[in-house]
Amino acid sequence: MRITSALVDPALLDLPWGVPLEQWPADHLVALPQGISRHIVRFVKLNDTVYALKETRERIAEKEYDLLRALERIDFPAVRAVAVVTDRQTADGEPLESVLITQHLQFSLPYRALFSHTLRPETLNRLLDALAALIVRMHLTGFAWGDCSLSNTLFRRDAGAFAAYLVDAETGSLYPRLSEGQRLEDIEVLRLNIFGESLDLQAAALLHPSIDPEAVVDDIVARYERLWHEVTYEQEVPRDARHNIERRIRRLNEMGFDVAEVAMSTVDGGYRVRPKVVDAGYHTRRLLRLTGLDAEENQARTLLNDLDAYRAESDLVDEQQAAHRWLTEVFEPVVRAVPAHLRRKLEPQEIFAQIIEHKWLLSERADRDVGMAPAVQSYLTDVLVKKPDEQAVLGVEVGSLGGVPG
């Protein structure tokens, strides 16, 4: 027996590798929901960690292991590859198939398991949104799945929404970039697989009567296409309509994507704009690295969106130079514009973020970019002056906090 492992866990050596997975004794296994698989799949628990074991051919196991490791390096939402066990033999010397070991995603369930129960419409919508977002992220990454299905996708709760994860990559391939044909073929496979699984659940009386398999498939594909278009299309924006760029970034944020940068090129009378989207969760670190400002994630997203728009409009290639100029020419002047007696109401990052929001609302009403200076003045006179001081909200003066016991 030979084990190639990304995670050293000596307990793996104690498992009965000389026995086919289908015949493993129950005391080694844990019962967890799983989707339909063409392979034998079992779950084991070792040292408080649950692993999924899949028996397959050596070449397939090694390919999937390498793919999952590659997806992990680019932080793609997929299960984590742990090891490949090859050269297995029975006690009589008969060869056994190889086993791919992945780490079970805690608090997750296959999509198929959830579709087997009653789903409220709002729950179904969130699940379909999460699945569509996963496929879009996958295609942006250059990964062609080739076998998307309800069984091969896991979901996990994520702050009131659902996050989807890829669980089976044996049919997948990772490219620098997908062609249009590869992308559309993947969607066609998705359509056939999910429609077939839904019919299977319906025939077994496991699908809620309110769920129509054909409508579900059409809905998933429609959500995917809308999101793919929003993420990838190049938008032409007039020079005086910067708020149109902000509007698009907001739509992407609402869909669960963050914008890392905005690529802009000049055209007659305006710009051609294409945002680069990334998964949520890195804006606080990026803002701190570029500007030294420490902010919450939503604050950081707002500030970075403004910074990226400033950089694109200024035709600055160097990110650090753009960040320095934005900090000194935009952020700091706005903060200094706040009168001293109003600065206790909110921290500077929150004030700036609210001014950006206020500017957005004013621009939407005027259907044009109103500019920063009028937005600052309007915010100070119409919004900030009416807010209570932060320490008043706490109920104690900041200066007295040091004398409070404990």
Return the CATH number at 154: 1.10.510.10
Q: Is the pLDDT of residue 161 over 80?
A: no
Q: Is the pLDDT of residue 97 over 90?
A: yes
Q: Both tokens of residue 108?
A: 């997750």
Domain of residue 388: give its range: 233-393
The pTM score is 0.60
CA 282 to chain centre: 11
Mean pLDDT of 198-220: 85
Ranking 82-96, 153-167, 215-229, 304-318 by mean pLDDT, the lowest is: 153-167
- pLDDT band at residue 158, thresholds of 50, 70 and 90? very low
Residue 404 lies in a domain: no
| CB proximity list for 137: less than 8 A, separation 6 or greater | 76, 77, 279
pLDDT value, residue 288 = 82
Q: Are 256 and 263 spatial neighbours (Cβ–Cβ below 8 Å)?
A: no
Residue 406 lies in a domain: no
pLDDT value, residue 121 = 66
pLDDT value, residue 128 = 81
Total domains, the chain: 3
CA dist list (Å): 77 to 69, 160, 173, 301, 392 = 12, 18, 16, 21, 43
Sign of CA pseudo-dihedral 350, 351, 355, 358: positive
Residue 358 lies in a domain: yes
Alpha-carbon dihedral 29, 35, 36, 37, rounded to 10 degrees: -60
pLDDT value, residue 173 = 92
Residue 282 lies in a domain: yes
Residue 203 lies in a domain: yes
**Share of residues in the chain with pLDDT > 70 (%):** 84
Q: Is the pLDDT of residue 11 over 80?
A: yes
- C-alpha 260/C-alpha 278 separation (Å) is 6
Residue 405 lies in a domain: no
DSSP string, 209-267: TT--HHHHHHHHHHHHHHHHHHHH--EEEETT-HHHHHHHHHHHHHTT-EEEEEEEEEE
Residue 384 lies in a domain: yes
Mean pLDDT of 57-68: 93
- Residue at a domain's end among 71, 103, 135: 103
Mean pLDDT of 193-211: 84
Ranking 46-50, 264-268, 274-278 by mean pLDDT, the lowest is: 274-278
Question: Do 388 and 248 reside in the same domain of the chain?
Answer: yes
Question: Do 149 and 35 reside in the same domain of the chain?
Answer: no
- pLDDT band at residue 399, thresholds of 50, 70 and 90? very low
